[in-house]
Amino acid sequence: MPSLDPKISTEIEMSAVPEPDLKQPDLYINRELSLLEFNRRVLEQAKDSATPLLERLRFLCISSTNLDEFFEIRVAGLKQKAALGSVHAGPDNMTPQDVLNVVAAKAHSLVAEQYRVLNELLIPELAAQNIHFIRRGDWTDEESKWMQEYFQQEVFPLLSPIGLDPAHPFPRILNKSLNFIVALQGKDAFGRNSGMAVIQAPRALPRIIRIPGDIAKVGYRFVFLSSIIHSYVNELFPGMTVKGCYQFRATRNSELFVDAEEVDDLLIAMEGELAARRYGDTVRVEMADNCPEDLALYLQGRFRLQPEDLYMVDGPVNINRLLSVADLVDRPDLVYPSFTPGIPPKLENAGSIFEVLRKQNILLHHPYESFLPVVEFVRQAARDPKVLAIKQTLYRTDSGSVIVDALVDAAKKGKEVTVVIELRARFDEEANINLATRLQEAGAHVVYGVVGFKTHAKMILVIRREGKRLRNYVHLGTGNYHSRTARVYTDYGLMSSDEVLGEDVHKVFWQLTSLGRFSESKKMLQSPFTLHKTLLSYVDREIKYQQQGGNGHIIVKVNALVEPQIIQSLYRASMAGVKIDLIVRGMCAVRPGVPGISENITVRSIIGRFLEHPRVYYFHNNGDPHVFCASADWIERNFFRRVEVAFPVEPKKLRDRIISDLELNLRDNCQAWILGRDGVYTRLTPALEAEAVSAQGTLLLRNAG
């Protein structure tokens, strides 16, 4: 029998090899554990001596705030599922209880490291810079006198200590509030033996107080409110003996629940849920580590927690309160140098933004470039008599927003103003309810998106009469219309008068307000309709080009990547030889470097001065790149349970600029962390004699004014 042609033989052998199971759990990193690892990377910034000292303190506080939200949302959700007996596992095959078991160990380790960084690194280094946190035993006589006066005048009148007995049951503890459990001895005013009391620190008082300069004499001296209450707690229980006073804080489930089938008015339903959030089920209690075991067990029982839910800490139970210190200390040498965001030259001296946009698109990259053109876009639209209508989505914005002021002004002038406000923007619900009320009172049309689908898209549409026609002007962004976060979050924004893009944006607004069916957008991709399926087709297209010419390449920059179908498509592309570079700031379920499956995938996370926030999708497309900016991370909810948009950046100059930014991110060897096959991130450092590349530093020098 003649031998087979070697080429045919190889093809037969390859075809005989079964395709690996891309759903096997080992190919997926658990999303909650990945999110915890992101918090650890943030904490590492607090240890970095190359970072200004007060900024290191900020990073410590951010890691603490992030961990709070992790417990309020992620751990709370896992506990609910476990309590209901759920054994439903994610792609990683871990049940809710499996995840909780690992989370407990890792979270305890992370908290211990946070306090080690505070006590062993930051406090001593701050003291060396004459910034002190004064313990009670170290107060001078003059400081003690001032503290006592402060307690008597500012603290004592606001306190309501509660002795615990059948007539004074354990009080409802507000989410993340500062409290004290007090051990007492002796009889109260009514002759009864009382063993315990609870003190709730007034929310109106600052948690950190700067001692006045004429008392402190030199440098900055701070005292914790908890220290002042500890020092004078005896005055709250006259005739009794205080055996001990220990601070504690409870973290509660903060996810809101609104039944879409039972709600007639979403705003009213949300207002009711907001009040309940403050007293949701407790998921964690932080306590002073010197608290006696009997009191700790008492609190554990009161909050119906397991031993692993108690976190004994060596310091203030709320580290993120230290964030105020950076604002109270005037030491420019201990913070990042200030900078002035740049203005695109075409806009710098332009009288009318609309005249500029008729000729060209404008791409903004915040915070390197100013957010002011976006504000001015809405301001000019409000003032311009030729502008007939303004439509905008608002997910998060700052209090006293200038953009909202302009929308109110436009509505009062009789322009058609339509605002889609997402009332369920987590932790901004109350602010958004107030915002909706203000806009409605000004005469704007306000809708709350679509029940069951959060509106997360970032869009502004301005309709202007020009001669005999109406022209659409749009702003599309990857981040919120929030001038304060635009100084610290990196995001892209596109301003354009492109006719097709304007029509696409108009369709989305019609859809959000009328709930009618409209034809698919021509340029934009939208979830929950076209975004997911189109991205999958683009990945398949890169596989085809790789097989034909060997040049398949995908670059994705997002905050999170965990959606299983997308991950499986990336694995198939990697197996076909497509080069895949993933820049994922936070949680990432992709496991790179698995032989035969994800060898062509790299995953990196960049943590630096600014919070990396843009969503950018790049497909090589056989040398004719497709680049999209978007509001959507690659998470199930963003594809299937949210209204998101991805918009193409088509002008070659702007497209190439974004590609250059992505390539700069991929060269970063100062603030980049590389994800290994084992799920562990390793920080890059420049090799000996190699050029040090910081993407954020380079962009700051290149763009800032």
Say what percent of the chain tops pLDDT 70: 91
- Over the stretch 503-515, which tens digit does the pLDDT of each residue have? 999 999 999 988 7
Of 611, 642, 617, 612, the C-alpha closest to 630 is 617
Residue 258 or residue 642, greater confidence: 642
pLDDT, one tens digit per residue, over 306-326 is 999 999 999 999 999 999 998
pLDDT of residue 2: 36
Summarize pLDDT for 684-703 with one digit per residue, the tens.
999 888 899 999 999 999 88
Return the pLDDT at 273: 44
* Whether residue 604 sits in one domain with residue 544: yes
For residues 142 and 288, state if they share a domain: yes
pLDDT of 341 strictly over 90: yes
Which has the closest alpha carbon to 460: 387, 351, 557, 352?
Answer: 387
For 448-478, write each residue's pLDDT tens digit.
877 778 899 999 999 999 999 999 999 999 9
Is 24 a domain residue? no
pLDDT for residue 434: 77
Residue 279 has pLDDT above 70, yes or no: no
17: pLDDT strictly greater than 80: no
* pLDDT(265) > 80: no
pLDDT of residue 519: 76
Indicate which CATH number applies to the domain containing 124: 3.30.1840.10
Q: What distance in Å separates the CA atoms of residue 643 and residue 637, rounded to the nearest whole number?
A: 10
Question: Is position 435 within any domain?
Answer: yes
Q: How far is 496 from 362, CA to CA, in rounded Å?
A: 7
**CATH for 83:** 1.20.58.310
Q: Is 650 helix (H, G, I), strand (E, B) or coil?
A: coil
Residues 227 and 126 in one domain: yes
Q: How far apart are CA 507 and CA 327, in angstroms?
A: 45
**Average pLDDT value for residue range 678-682:** 95
The vertex-692 CA angle with 557 and 606, nearest 5°, equals 25
Domain boundary among 280, 314, 334: 334
Q: Which of 456, 482, 532, 620 is catalytic?
A: 456
Task: Indicate whether 383 pLDDT > 90.
Answer: yes
- What does the pLDDT read at residue 277? 41
Confidence at residue 353, expressed as pLDDT on a 0 to 100 scale: 96
Residues belonging to the chain: 705
- Is residue 617 in some structural domain? yes
Clarify whether residues 245 and 371 are in a common domain. no
Q: Domain boundary at 500, 523, 546, which? A: 523
For residue 4, the model assigns a pLDDT of 36
Q: What pLDDT shows up at residue 272?
A: 44
pTM of the model: 0.91
Preceding peptide of 161 cis, ω within 30° = no
- Mind listing the pLDDT tens digit for each residue in 540-564? 999 999 999 889 999 999 999 999 9
Asked whether residue 413 is domain-assigned, the answer is yes
- For the chain, how many structural domains are there in total? 4
Question: Are 128 and 176 part of one and the same domain?
Answer: yes
Please confirm, yes or no, whether 445 is among the known catalytic residues: no
What SS3 class is residue 2? coil
pLDDT of residue 428: 56
Q: What is the CATH number of the domain that holds 550?
A: 3.30.870.10
Q: What's the mean per-residue pLDDT of the chain?
A: 90
Do 142 and 165 fall within a single domain?
Answer: yes
In a domain, 9, yes or no: no
CA end-to-end span of the chain: 78
Question: What is the C-alpha to C-alpha distance for residues 35 and 78, in angstroms, rounded to an integer?
Answer: 14
DSSP code, position 622? G
β-bridge partners, 250? 285
* Longest alpha-carbon distance in the chain: 108
Residue 53 and residue 129 in contact, taking contact as beta carbons nearer than 8 Å: yes
β-pairing, 553-558 vs 579-584, is parallel
Residues 389 and 268 in one domain: no
* 306 and 447 belong to one structural domain: no
Residue 419 confidence (pLDDT) above 50 = yes
Asked if the model's pLDDT at residue 19 lies above 90, the reply is no
pLDDT, tens only, 130-145: 999 999 989 999 999 9
Query: Concatenated DSSP letters for 412-480?
Result: HTT-EEEEEE-TTSTT-HHHHHHHHHHHHHHT-EEE--BTTBEE---EEEEEEEETTEEEEEEEEESS-
pLDDT average, residue stretch 263-267? 45
Q: What's the rounded mean pLDDT across residues 279-285?
A: 83
Residue 261 and residue 313 share a domain: yes
Q: Find the range with the poorest average confidence among 76-80, 488-492, 567-571.
A: 76-80
Q: Do 569 and 671 reside in the same domain of the chain?
A: yes
- Residue 630: inside a domain, yes or no? yes
Q: Which of 41-45, 236-240, 589-593, 639-643 has the lowest mean pLDDT?
A: 236-240
Q: Are residues 222 and 193 in the same domain?
A: yes
Instruction: Evaluate if residue 401 carries a pLDDT over 90.
Output: no
- Report the pLDDT averaged over residues 483-488: 92
**Joined tokens for residue 389:** 């209508």
Per-residue pLDDT reduced to its tens digit, 160-184: 999 887 667 888 899 999 999 999 9
On whether both 93 and 109 belong to a single domain, the answer is: no
Average pLDDT over residues 271-300: 79
- Give the domain-ending residue among 284, 312, 334: 334
For residue 262, the model assigns a pLDDT of: 41
pLDDT of residue 228: 96
- The residue-averaged pLDDT of 604-614 equals 97
The verdict on residue 541 lying in a domain is: yes
- With pLDDT > 90 as the criterion, what percentage of the chain qualifies? 76
pLDDT band for position 622 (50/70/90)?
Answer: very high
What is the domain range of residue 372?
345-523
In a 3-state reduction of DSSP, which class is residue 620? Answer: coil
Position 17 in a domain: no
